[in-house]
Amino acid sequence: MAYKAPAGKGYADVAAHFRERITAGELAPGDSIPSVAAIQAQFGVASKTVSRALGVLKGEGLVTSRGALGTVVAESPLVITGGDRLDRVHRNGLRYAPGESSSGHRVMRRAVHDPDVCSALELEPGDEAVIRIRVFRQDDRPTSIGVSVYPPHTVSAVPELADDVRMVKQFDQLYAERTGHQVERGQRTGHARQASDDELTAMEITAPPHSAVPVVVTAQTFHDDDRPLAYWEDVYAPGTRVPMG
């Protein structure tokens, strides 16, 4: 049973606060977590509650003990999904977390034949869509590939999606501003599959010919009240830690 302090805050609340700050890029690898006494004062909880919260974060690989430095953010924090990146931008305007960058940006118009994408976007096989791809990196190491697919009606409202340039605003903001329709997100799903040759190249993985390299993939569809607007997929490099929930 979760321990609850009289003030109503429990260890899960304290852990969630720092987990959100780490995944939002507000705390970078190597940054110090406040002392136990400071966290006690901030949340009005007992030292036992703080210790348990820090234990949860250590178990998740988000923080580590550094002797006299106390508890610090771990060098390999979680790699977040595309949807979580939207949340981060809306929360604090950060496109990238500390040490994070991206490369291999590509924008193209292609006929779509993938049955999952066609089903998600209500497209017929062979219909054209705009596809945007980039490789996310942490400390210059590839961690994931972000793929976003937009059907013609979304591109009609947000034509910048078809330009091979960085978007000034996120697509959901632009779409809502221009159409008056709120953009909602569907359930995020995940599965494992074999990486394609293109994905191995993008993630800088050298594998023997015909060998199977497993990757975790998460997918999410965006929609308004009338129809689907986008399909986002993230492909994670082997060994990458991904938050789920």
Stretch 105-132: mean pLDDT: 97
pLDDT score of 232 more than 80: yes
- What average pLDDT is seen over the chain? 90
Q: What is the location of CATH 3.40.1410.10 in the chain? A: 82-236
The alpha-carbon radius of gyration of the chain (Å, integer) is 20
Q: Number of H helices and number of E strands within the chain?
A: 8, 9
Q: Count Cβ atoms below 10 Å from residue 146 Cβ, excluding itself.
A: 19
Evaluate if residue 234 carries a pLDDT over 70. yes
Domain at 11-73, CATH class? mainly alpha
| Integer Cα distance of 132 and 163 in angstroms | 10
The predicted structure's pLDDT at residue 245: 61
What value, to the nearest 5°, has the Cα angle with vertex 243 and ends 86 and 195? 90
Q: Tell me the C-alpha distance between 196 and 186, whole Å.
A: 26
Which amino acid is located at 124 in the chain? E
- H or E, element range at 100: strand 100-111
**C-alpha–C-alpha distance, residues 81 and 163, integer Å:** 23
SS3 124: coil
- Confidence band for 211, pLDDT divided at 50, 70 and 90: confident
Domain with CATH 1.10.10.10 in the chain: 11-73
Q: Copy the structure tokens of residue 229.
A: 């607007």
Which long-range CB contacts under 8 A does 54-59 form with residues at least 24 apart?
Answer: 54/15, 56/11, 56/12, 56/15, 57/15, 57/18, 57/19
Q: For position 8, what pLDDT does the model report?
A: 53
**Alpha helical stretches, state H, 24-107:** 36-43, 47-59, 82-92
**Does the pLDDT at position 5 exceed 50?**
no
In the chain, what percentage of residues exceed pLDDT 70?
95
d(CA 161, CA 150): 8
Residue 3 in this model has a pLDDT that exceeds 60: no
CATH class of 82-236: alpha beta
| Residue 98: partners with Cβ closer than 8 Å, 6 or more residues away | 25, 28, 29
Q: Tens digit of pLDDT for each residue in 32-75? A: 999 999 999 999 999 999 999 999 999 888 899 887 778 999 88
The predicted structure's pLDDT at residue 12:
92
pLDDT for residue 77 is more than 70: no
pLDDT band at 7 (very low <50, low <70, confident <90, very high): very low
